[in-house]
Each structure stands twice: as structure tokens, then as C-alpha cells.
């Protein structure tokens, strides 16, 4: 855990706190609008599709697909230098929304657009656990 304390730790807000608590509990939570049947990410006070406030938190499958990625060879700050080379990816979740994360647990050169991934959780501090992704296990086995 010590290696993460100087990174840019997220600061939860009232609308995002349930998401970050979900990560602490190793659950990827998304907001779901019961008025228009749509998942959304990032967390908001309203549904950005229909402006309803009928939002509830639902646990996502944790699976997604890499839509794009890059391998960073020059870290953004010293706190990230030990991670170089690291993958920044945009991942389209099975439920629809897209999120940014890192793809870990594999050779960075093996990451491709279209790669199936699943969420894993990485504890950074007492309050913050980060949602990261690794190649989907069945895909590795198969």
C-alpha cells in the first residue's frame, strides 16, 4: 500500500461516495436510472439521459472491453514512475458506460483494442481502493 500514497488519490464527493465505498467492498457499483432504464458513469445527482433523480446503485458485472489504450513510458509524476510502463485504457463496461482505468496483470504489449477485461481492486489507502482491470480469466484459460 505504501507505494501509492503520493499518487493523485481521488477525493470522494457526496454523489460519488457510494461508488468509492463499493470499491472498498470489492464491488463495482454503477448508478441505474429507474425512470429510463439506463446505467451511467460517472456518478451524478441526476440521470444525464432524462434528468430524473430516480437513481439507484447496482452492482455491475465488472466485465468490459478495451475500446482504446496507450502504454505510458514517461510517468506523470515520480509517484507513478515505478509503474512504468503502464497501460491507460478506456474500457466499455458490459452495462454500457465507459470508464478510464489501468489494465494490469499482463504484459503491457499484449493489450489490444477489443480485449475482454474484468475488474480487480487495488487498495491504495485506508479510504481508497482503485478499480483496475485485467484480461478476463476465461479468455486467458481459453
Partner 1 sequence: MDSLRGKVAIVGAADTPVGKLPQFSPTGLCIDAARRVMADANITKDKIDGLITCNSMAEPYMYHAEAMAEYLQIFPRYCMSVGAGGSTTFSILHHAAAAIVSGMCTTVLITMADSLRSGLTRDQAMKMQSSAGHSQFEIPFGPTVPAFYALIARAHMDKYGTTAEQFAAIAVACRKHACLNPTAEMRTPITIDDVMNSRMIADPLHLLDCSLVSDGGSAIIMTSADRVADFPHDPVYILGVGEGHGHEHISQAQSLTTSFAVESGRRAFAMAGLKPSDMDFAQLYDCFTPTVLVELEDLGFCKIGEGGAFVENGNIELGGMLPVNTHGGLLSHCHPGNPGSMFALTETVTQLRGMAGARQVKGAEVAMVHGQGGIMSSHTSVILGRERH
Which residue in 46, 71, 94, 116 binds partner 1 (CB under 8 A)?
Answer: 71
101 contributes a contact to partner 1 by CB under 8 A: yes
Query: Angle at the Cα of 141 (from 140 to 142), degrees rounded to 5?
Result: 95
Strand-by-strand arrangement of the 55-59 sheet: 38-40, 29-33, 55-59
Total number of residues that touch partner 1 (CB under 8 A): 35
76 contributes a contact to partner 1 by CB under 8 A: yes
| Grid coordinates given for 57 | 446503485
Are 4 and 124 in contact by the 8 Å Cβ rule? The answer is: yes
| Grid coordinates given for 26 | 470489492
136 contributes a contact to partner 1 by CB under 8 A: no
The residue written with cell numbers 446503485 in the block is 57
C-alpha–C-alpha distance, residues 102 and 51, integer Å: 31
* From 1-9, 22-30, 54-62, 134-142, span contacting partner 1 (CB under 8 A): 1-9
* From 21-29, 31-39, 84-92, 134-142, span contacting partner 1 (CB under 8 A): 84-92
21 contributes a contact to partner 1 by CB under 8 A: no
Q: Which residues bind partner 1 (CB under 8 A)?
A: 7-13, 16, 41-42, 67-78, 80, 83, 86, 88, 90, 98-102, 113-114, 130
Amino acid at each position: 500500500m505504501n507505494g501509492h500514497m503520493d499518487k493523485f488519490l481521488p477525493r470522494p464527493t457526496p454523489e460519488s461516495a457510494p461508488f468509492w465505498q463499493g470499491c472498498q467492498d470489492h464491488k463495482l457499483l454503477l448508478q441505474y436510472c429507474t425512470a429510463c432504464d439506463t446505467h451511467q458513469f460517472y456518478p451524478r445527482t441526476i440521470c444525464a439521459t432524462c434528468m430524473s433523480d430516480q437513481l439507484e446503485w447496482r452492482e455491475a458485472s465488472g466485465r468490459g472491453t478495451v475500446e482504446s489504450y496507450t502504454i505510458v513510458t514517461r510517468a506523470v509524476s515520480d509517484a507513478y514512475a515505478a509503474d512504468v510502463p503502464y497501460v491507460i485504457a478506456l474500457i466499455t463496461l458490459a452495462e454500457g458506460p465507459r470508464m478510464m482505468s489501468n489494465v494490469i496483470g499482463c504484459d503491457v504489449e499484449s493489450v489490444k483494442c477489443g480485449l475482454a477485461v474484468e475488474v480487480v481492486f487495488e487498495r491504495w489507502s485506508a479510504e481508497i481502493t482503485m478499480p483496475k482491470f485485467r484480461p478476463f480469466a476465461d479468455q486467458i484459460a481459453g
